Structure 1
Amino acid sequence: MRGSLAVGKAGDGVDAVAYVAGREALDWLRAVDPLAGHVIDLGDFRAGLEEALVLYRMGGAPRLILSGAGGEDEWLGHAERLRVAVAAAVRQARRLKQVKRLGIVVEKGLLEKAAEEGSGEAWALEQALVAADMANYAYSLHGRGERPHVLAEIRLEPGNEKALEQARAVAEGVRLARDLANAPANIMGPDGLEQEARELARRLGLGIRVLHRGELESLGMGGILAVGEGSDSEPRLIILEYHGGGKKVAVIGKAVAFDAGGLDLKPPQAMLEMKYDKSGGAAAMGIVAAAARLRLPVDLVALIPAVENMPSGRAYKPLDVIRMYNGTTVEIGNTDAEGRLIMADALAYAAERYKPDIMIDLATLTGAAVVALGNHAAALMSNNEELASKLERAAWRAGEPAWRLPTWPVYEKQLESKTADTSNVGGRWAGAITAAKFLEKFVDGRPWAHLDIAGVAWVQDKGPWKPYYPGGATGWGVRTVVELLRSL
């Protein structure tokens, strides 16, 4: 279920036209249409952030949507003001089931301010278009009954073809990540993820390699094998390669297609969101798809360890000791701390085989990250100051904030084990940090950054609340890493 993005005259042949502006541009809105001016003078529209109002008129597009971008003092920046306001207009239009085609006009001043935060007007237009597409997203498996209403076309004014081409590439990457994460485990298990990766490779001319049980055993990938042992779905490591020249970048994404917790079984209520535990792997696949469509000048490899973490007679057990790909032995303190085990094997393999200049991992790794930051920012940890700073800036530009947590050596003491090189858990306190310190043991000292997206990968009780996240998976991380890759 998707509509198309376009640029051109917003009022031509549409069912509704939306005007997007901040509080500083109310005079511009007054000049746009006498009806808009009348409503503003009455005080019924103040252009607040996410404020959207529908008006009806004779002549031209029959529906007029006014969408507010708030004031210049908004903490989130002008580019995010633009994204949120455009998305709010799309969301309002979708509520009107008779609207099939929407035209959007962005006030020039808001566009110029957003452009200053990025790399020019084409970038700002791209942000608006991607936000519009994200707000027009719906995941549905309805066989009968009414399916969610999406707009057939969204047209932006002003616009240019370069911005449109780039927006379509990024939007497709985000959509792919959301589709994969939203899909239930019976449809998108490890086998389904492999099939999607193979189809993506075929469409975009990517290199692909998938390591199944025999190869995982011969390579000594004890983490991936142990976590996948309890499931009837075979574990695997999916590897996608895009060759654009330039720096070597490895992106590693956690893909636990369903996480029951293993023998340390989760309570039933906690399992209701565990189809989303593959969001990191979904984002990694979306990133490589966007990079290929954008023809970015990087050599990018995405490694996606795909497993299910289930209880059975074969499942790995608390206090088992397993040997990882790089030879490290790990004592299992909790079978529900499984993501770091599969990620560790993938990180170590990426570091040794591909020798990347940069390594980035994305994982719905810890509840501790959600406790620390809620549902509004990812937790960022890194062993490299330059990479961490670049990733922070990229996240802010993309509208996907990431907040740095310390990775001081003292936290490693919490992972000490009496019977193995390390434990896979470090106790209750600083859980997001000790998980990152565990992963750091497997990167071979290469520049590496870890994004714990447990709080932001899907819409939860406390957010993230944005009009371009109607619900379900958010695709968080695709736009951030694409921004970073562009900066290289």
Structure 2
Amino acid sequence: MQYQVSNNAAADVQASCIVVTLDQSGKLSDAAQAINSASNGFLQARVEAGDISGKLAETLLLPGVAGISAARVLLVGTGVEAESSDKALSTTSAIKVLDAIASATSKQSGSVAVSLAHLADNTLNEAWWAEQTAMAFGRAQYRFTATKPVTETKAEEQPKQADTLIWLGDDVSSSLEKGEAVAQGVNYARDLGNLPGNICTPSYLAEEAEKLAADNANVETIIIDEDQMEAMGAGAFVSVAKGSIEPGKLIIMKYQGADNADEAPHMILGKGITFDTGGISLKPGAKMDEMKYDMCGAASVLGAMQAMVALQPKQNIIGMITSAENMPAGHASKPGDVVTSLSGKTIEILNTDAEGRLVLCDALTYGINHFKPASIVDIATLTGACMAALGGVNSGLFTQDESLADELQSAARYSNDKVWRLPLEDDYQELLDTNFADMANIGGPLAGATTAACFLARFTEGTPWAHLDIAGTAWGGAGKSKGASGRPVPLLVNYLLAK
């Protein structure tokens, strides 16, 4: 999408559609008032007729409004009263308004001009509104077509889409560009998540990472295959990967943006189980197709890395993906097996469906030993327990590092990519005790999300570390609405940029 900034009067803006607002009392914004005057009171007449009231995210599309240059006018309700002391929109409400705008205009070709600068305040400034507007249009225009080839006939039936966004207000070009980069990263992660497991394999993810390096001189991609992982002693990783004919991969993307090449990098690590049957601890058949989404942590790392490369920040970043299939082959791991991790710690595998932590623990050890990162955030569709606790609204946040918690929560608030902090207290560690190894890979039926995080914490070696459990937020819906969300790409990008 192309972006422009304009100071033209609302009635004079040349566009396929111009977006203006009204509050919940029916009062038109200044831009809407200007169009109303140019059209001899047409907008006010619509309000008085009850066609629109101004409630939150309510829209009314008006074609052919006389006296103005734009072909259409979209009236959007803000759900607040302009004269009220509580007139500011919350982040969630603001994004609902933007999604309504993007949805109502997404099937229109040409340009869309938006007059939203008046909604800015000290909390959500004009730059934030511009950035989130670009992201909303990116969300609205997303289509998954990779496994639905478009024929010439179907191509003619594809919905029209706006190609230019005109921001009416200050020069917020950099914010529009940031929003575009994040939106592209989100949609890339959605595409990867939505791909079926027979296409999106560990090798496919490795190829995608190599493409990122091929297109960008300051990115280096390193692929470590399953045989190499076994040779170096990564028994936890291999215990998962060995059950599939698809070879497991440890995928490393090194972005060098800092002026000092030796500056300690910040690392993001994604779980990439490209299909999870549960292994010998086989999952129920119902909804097992959704286990293609068990690589959404990896998808979010690729999406975030793509966005960061587009934005070119002055910092060093490691994007790491630990990827395998979890299958019930004859040589797959069995409940009760004991394996030795890359750290040297032994693990009793009580449940082969708790495989994500097994691939992640060896990746944590490798990343800390080889890159000495300043911080690590891992992202994983790790536990049904987290999904049960938080549903599809918040990702679970686990850390004992207060600074890291503050940084991630701040990025979550800014991006509306929500997290909720769950306990990671040492008292839970004893639930992983076993007579037969240094630890078990599960902690029993209670506090499952926390014991999974406790397991990973044992491999962080004092490095500032946080764990994001995205089991409930990485995908959702049913039927035609089912699909990957692209979360937490917005959170990760804002977190890294704040570094």
TM-score (norm 2): 0.88
Partner of 1:401: 418
Which residue in the other structure is 2:115 paired with?
106
1:18/1:102 contact within 8 Å kept? no
Question: Does the CA-based 8 Å contact 2:139-2:183 persist in structure 1?
Answer: yes
Shift of 1:30: 4.5
1:443 maps to a residue whose letter is: T
Report the AA paired with residue 358 of structure 1: S
Confirm or deny: 8 A CA contact 1:280 1:362 kept in the other structure: yes
Tell me how far 1:170 sits from its aligned partner: 1.9
The reply on whether 1:125 has 2:130 as its aligned counterpart is yes
Relative to structure 1, the CA distance from residue 281 to residue 349 in structure 2 (aligned partners, 3 Å threshold; closer, same or farther) is same
* Map 1:201-350 → 2, pairs under 5 A: 201-205=213-217, 206-245=219-258, 248-350=265-367
Residue 17, structure 1, aligned to residue 29, structure 2: no
Moved over 6 A (4+): 72-76
Residue aligned with 1:269, SS: coil
Counterpart of 2:205 in structure 1 is: 193
Contact 2:268 2:301 (C-alpha < 8 Å) held by counterparts: yes
Change in Cα spacing, 1:187 to 1:461, as seen in structure 2 (3 Å) is: closer
Larger mean CA deviation between 81-90 and 10-19 belongs to: 10-19
Aligned length: 472
Residue 466 of structure 1 is matched in structure 2 by none
What are the superposed Cα offsets for residues 157-215 of structure 1, whole Å, 9 maximum, x if unpaired? 22543223322322222222111111111111111111111111111221110000221
2:129 corresponds to which letter in structure 1? A
Identity %: 35
Q: Distance in 2 between matches of 1:76 and 1:471?
A: 33
Q: Which amino acid aligns with 1:117?
A: T
Residue of structure 2 equivalent to 1:149: 159
Where 2:317 maps in the other structure, the secondary structure is strand
Which residue identity lines up with residue 101 of structure 1 in the other structure? Answer: G
Q: What secondary structure is seen at the aligned counterpart in 2 of 1:26?
A: coil
Say if 2:179 is the partner of 1:167.
Answer: yes
2:494 maps to: 483
CA positional deviation for 1:385: 0.8
Corresponding residue for residue 395 of structure 2: 378
The Cα shift of 1:83 comes to: 2.9
Q: Which amino acid aligns with 1:322?
A: V
How far did residue 106 of structure 1 move?
2.9
Partners of 1:401 and 1:102 in 2: CA distance: 31
Change (3 A) 1:338 1:75: farther
Tell me the secondary structure at the aligned position of residue 274 of structure 2. Answer: strand
Distance 1:454 1:326 in 2: 26
Return the offset for 1:274: 1.2
- Change in Cα spacing, 1:323 to 1:312, as seen in structure 2 (3 Å) is same
- Report the CA distance between 1:47 and its aligned residue: 2.8
Distance 1:358 1:75 in 2: 39
Shift of 1:92: 2.0
8 Å Cα contact 1:20-1:85 kept in structure 2? no
> Which residue of the partner structure matches residue 43 of structure 2?
36
Gaps of 5+ in 1: 463-468
The whole-number CA distance in structure 2 between the counterparts of 1:102 and 1:50 is 21
Deviations 1:23-43 (A, max 9, x none): 478321344334332222233
Matches within 5 A, 1:345-356: 345-356=362-373
- Measured after TM superposition, the shift of residue 234 of structure 1 is 0.3
Shift of 1:390: 1.3
Secondary structure of the structure 2 residue equivalent to 1:128:
helix
Equivalent AA in structure 2 for residue 155 of structure 1: L
Whole-Å separation in 1 of the counterparts to 2:266 and 2:220: 15
Q: 1:63 to 1:121 in 2, by over 3 A?
A: closer
Specify whether residues 412 and 148 from structure 1 end up closer, same or farther in structure 2 by C-alpha distance, changes over 3 A only.
Answer: farther
- Please name the residue that 1:433 is paired with: 450
CA-CA distance at 1:413 after TM superposition? 1.3
Q: 1:5 to 1:458 in 2, by over 3 A?
A: farther
Give the corresponding residue for 2:76: 67
CA distance in 1, matches of 2:113, 2:327: 47
Structure 2 stretches of 5 or more lacking a match? none
Superposed CA offset, 1:117-165 (max 9, x none): 36x5334311221222122111123235747635141413225432233
Q: Which one has a bigger Cα radius of gyration?
A: 2
The TM-score normalised by the length of structure 1 is 0.90
CA 1:268 to 1:68, structure 2 compared with 1: closer, same or farther past 3 Å?
farther
